[in-house]
Chains A and B, each alone.
Chain A
Amino acid sequence: MVDAFVPSTKRGLRKFINDVRGCNTLQDEQVRVRKELANIRQKFANAKALKAYDRKKYAWKLVYIYMLGHEVEFGHMEVINLASSKNNSEKLVGYVAMGVLMGHDEDLARLVINTIRSDLVSGSAFAQRLALTFTANVGGHELTQALSADVLRVLYLPESKPSTRRKATLCALSLWRVNQDLIDPSEYLSVVAIPALEQTFEMGLNLAVLGTLKSVARADPMAYQAVYPVVIRLLEKVVLGESVPSTYSYHGVACPLVQVRALEVLALYDFPTDAELRKTLVHILTKVLSCNDDINPQSMNQSNANNAVLVEAINLVIQYGEQVDREMMEKVVAILVKFVRLSDANVKYLGLAGMSKLAQMAQREGLASVLDMIRDHHHTVRQSLEDQDGSIRKRALDLMFSMCDKGNAHEIVGELVEYLKTVSYNLKADTVRKIAILCDRFSDDRPWYVDTILHLIATAGDFVPEDMWHRLVQVVTNNEDTKAYAAAAVYKMMQPSHVHETTIRVGSYLLGEFGYFLVEGNQQSAQDLFDAINQHLDYAGNKTRAMMLHAYAKLVLLYPQLHEDVTLVMDAFRDSSDPELQQRACEYFALAQQDRVRQQAVFEPMPAFPEAQGEEAAETARPNPTPESVKAVDAQVETQVEDLLNLADKSSFTPAPEPELKFGKEPRRVWLANVLCEPKGVLFEDHFVQIGVQLQFQKAAGKLMFFVGNKTGWVLDQALCTVLGNDALEVVAQPLEPAVLQPRAQSRFSVAVTCHKPFADRVPIKVSFQANGQFEFIDVDLPVSVLSFASPCSFPDADFDQRWDAMGDRVQQTTPLDHVGLERIDAVVAKLTALKLAPTLSADKRTLRGATTIQTATVNPKTGKPAVVGVLVRMTCVAGSSSLAVRAVNVAAAVGTLTTVKDVLLVL
């Protein structure tokens, strides 16, 4: 009988629970619960008349109803009143019930703040502990803001009992998670942590302090460095001296929880440099690592406790890597091997996970001997891939991946490809990804790489992400010797009458680009290539069909005998309901009527991809990135892109570097001058908004991303941006999104520009929004000049002068620059370089020569290539002033260059 040991649950509550348990259907339960809720609501309507016993009973009933998953919309006030009661019993019930009922609701938490505060200062240890527990478990901004000072006071109070203090430290930890400035490291260490860790009779307090340190010291290890030797001494006492109260020994192991936490705190720091500490630590680790040998576990729990400590010690040794001696490393390997071979699933799991970490460390630090030791157990790992337990299979897969290097790459990839046939569904995507990464990393043997990736696409196409086959295309395009092989391989793959969608895409792309290798080598005819692709047309998706059309267009240019077939297909798609397909079909059809030169210009073979991109792709395929590091990388990318204006930093806006006002020029001209020669920057700022921009130009096209940030504390709505281009500069702008600017948030819009001919005037942008009912208008210039489309060219001075003279009878523009003299010539060179003018300084440092070409998108009818306009710049400097001259065949190009250089040099 339960009741013999425990004072009975209140009778009404017991009956209610019994009733609910007796309900056969959900409907019955709902009826019973509704009835009870109506009853409680009625009783609470006159709560003052209720006896304490009933108030507690109804509070528990509400908690029970809430736990069943029903909504509880009332009664919170009554529960809060219980907590504020002077009676200990009511207070206890109130706090525990609130802890369950209120969850993390900040609005409700606000109602309890006064009760908690008065309990924290009350001096009653009982009330303090309840208040601390509640505050710690609920946390959140409201409580942190209101109660931090009171919680810290209890924590630092000399007369606080250990049992109160351990709750206070964990409560402070909970609030610290909201506001990291809350705990002052030196005060925490000197008042709480160090005194606590120097004793061993209150291990509960030690546990709480170590748990707190584990989080707070991770955020700032240097600030808490002073605790390091104290933790080592504590560990020494626990592990070696065993001066621990017997109630804290757990199945014969001295306080395993404290041991693990202490090792976790040590892991926040590097291997100690101090000889004495180092000796003690090595001694402790040796002892922990060897305790596995001499204890014969009596029970499951004892071995669990032992192994928990062991795993943590192993992690620490792996973290130290080469710094520990070889013997200890061998010991670690031996223990992990033992773990992996055991039949106990948990230990096996941890063994595989530990070995993965070890392999990663060995790869990183180049410890070949350790890798060899791991590789000796290749077979066991291979077997674990087939384990009945999904968790273990996942760990084994990770380990296979980590232990792969140049020497065994072919073997491991082969095994994984084989494994792909039997792998369970939820591991398949991961396996495919890992194979692709390994292939990429060890892809010296290109045919092997091509074969493996194509095989993956064929056998597990659904699990192959887009970027994987894009990478394949990249590798093939960039390596001349691989093209013919890849074309042949993919041709073979396209043969079956039904293949995976991704296969069709790769096939279309590679055969369209490199199919000619097969025809030239007399392996296949052009018709064969066309048929290999076209047989899949019927069932391919529209996106794939678009790629197929492109491949046909490329093929027909090389092999006019395909003209009839291709025209037929193009014609069929000219009225396709898919706009993309329709457009392509029409365009390709129209192109086919054009002269050959133009067609060839459009369908030039793809140039090699920039290697940086390849590196990046390989970079994203880093071994098994831990979620944290991925998040960190993501966050980094995020800040780079999203946070151009530093808006994520809630504390304040970082103002644009305050431009020095020179010559009475307004700041926006200075901002513009900066943005004209930088890839990003602030374009405008006032007390409402800050506008930033990121620019990217390639040849005659450019893309600008604008960020409009709301600096105010209120909403700015109806935000609108308009940019109108002209016949020289084509502008396509996307609307500003979102059009409502939340306080301290930012909206963005992008603008694509194309230069059709040189231009001298700037294009204005108009930004408008409504602030407090009033419209505000901002006019700024689009930070695009004729030089944005420049590509520098350089030739010797003599050559330059010859060209300069040859252009003498054409257009020349000159202007004096009064504020830039000889003494600032280096800064001028830097600016002109940023403007892509390729400046060269004459030997006497008095003349600067620069030359560039402006790229346009207009096709020159004579050459069939986009027209370029050459521009020459000459600057002659004397002390204190200089003069600038520009010559170009086109007057707009000359004027545009001159004004741009002048504007940029203005900020010097």
Chain B
Amino acid sequence: MINFILLISRQGKTRLKKWFVPCPERDQFRTIKEVSSLILNRSPKVCNFLEWRDYKLCYKRYASLFFIACIEQNDNELLALEMVHHFVECLDRYFGNVCELDLIFNFHKAYYILDEILISGELQESSKRAVLHHISEQDPLI
């Protein structure tokens, strides 16, 4: 399962965070600090996986944003990257060529879209069309 998912800008600002396991507020901020400094300092040529405590961090950079997923030891790393990519593609389709500003001004929509893709740290829908169908249905409401 995914323990938490983070969107961090290149400057280290948090654009989105979601924990799927109980974790006190203070620890979340400490983790974000630790994880983002680890990842922002990695060179672009190295692999997208990183062992961190008892977990694995799988991350990918899209333009100015790092998407980070923390998974468990025996989870499939590439699959985590694919889940992240699926989320990015959904954001992209929804916003039409998504950029960091979209996520800043529409942070609430990003959370809403994430809720349609991942719950309890597991992927619930892998068809972009199905996800977007649900979102667009409720878009006027938000």
Contact = CB atoms under 8 A, between A and B. Distances in A.
Given A207-B123, A257-B123, A388 B105 contact: no
Interface in A335-353: 345-346, 348-350
Contacts of B140: 7, 89
A173 B20 CA distance: 12
Contacts of A2: 95-96, 101-102, 105-106
Classify chain B's interface size: 35 or more
A204 B127 contact: yes
B119 A247 contact: no
Contact of B120 (A4, A6, A174): A174
Contact of A64 (B1, B23, B107, B134): B107
Given A5-B95, A174-B119, A392-B47, 7 more contacts: A14-B105, A163-B130, A247-B127, A247-B129, A308-B81, A311-B78, A389-B47
Contacts of A203: 126-127
11 contacts: A2-B101, A6-B102, A88-B141, A92-B138, A132-B119, A204-B127, A204-B130, A301-B85, A308-B76, A391-B51, A628-B74
A757 interface: no
Contacts of B108: 60, 63, 93, 96-97
Interface string B105-142: 11111011001000110111111111000100011111
A17 interface: yes
Given A92-B142, A139-B120, A167-B119, A346 B49 contact: yes
Contact of B125 (A7, A174, A207, A350): A207
Contacts of A166: 124-125
Interface in A115-136: 126, 132-133, 136
A174 B49 CA distance: 26
B46 A391 contact: yes
Interface stretch (A208-216, A586-594, A772-780, A863-871): A208-216
Interface stretch (A99-107, A472-480, A699-707, A718-726): A99-107
A137 B17 CA distance: 13
A28 to B, nearest CB: 16
B47 A136 contact: no
B122 A208 contact: yes
B124 A104 contact: no
Given A100-B111, A137-B119, A215-B1, A67 B126 contact: no
A512 interface: no
B54 A93 contact: no
A350 B82 CA distance: 15
Nearest to B43: A388
A6 B43 contact: no
Contacts of B102: 2, 6
Contact of B126 (A174, A212, A257, A308): A257
A345 B46 CA distance: 6
A389 B25 CA distance: 32
Q: Which of B28, B43, B54, B105 has the most CB of A within 10 A?
A: B105
A609 interface: no
A67 B14 contact: yes
A851 interface: no
Nearest to A9: B105
Contacts of B43: 388-389
Contacts of A348: 47
A208 B125 CA distance: 8
Interface stretch (A248-256, A279-287, A498-506): A248-256
The 9 closest A-B pairs by CB, nearest first: A345-B47, A308-B78, A211-B122, A389-B46, A204-B125, A89-B141, A174-B120, A104-B22, A247-B127
A132 B134 CA distance: 15
Given A89-B141, A204-B130, A208-B124, A96 B112 contact: yes
B124 to A, nearest CB: 5
Contacts of B28: 103
B29 interface: yes
A477 to B, nearest CB: 36
A646 to B, nearest CB: 26
B64 interface: no
A97 B106 CA distance: 13
B122 A626 contact: no
A506 to B, nearest CB: 32
A258 to B, nearest CB: 7
Contacts of A17: 104-105
A104 B124 CA distance: 21
Contacts of A389: 43, 45-47
A60 B142 CA distance: 10
Interface string A1-41: 01011110100001001000100000000000000000000
Interface string A303-319: 01101100110000000
A307 to B, nearest CB: 5
Given A133-B115, A304-B81, A207 B95 contact: no
Nearest to B14: A67
A133 B101 contact: no
A541 interface: no
B63 interface: no
Interface string B88-106: 0000001110000110111
A166 B125 CA distance: 8
B78 A350 contact: yes
Nearest to A106: B22
A170 interface: yes
B111 A99 contact: yes
A738 interface: no
Given A346-B47, A348-B47, A391-B51, A9 B106 contact: yes
A394 B111 contact: no
A245 B126 CA distance: 12
B95 A170 contact: no
Contacts of A781: none
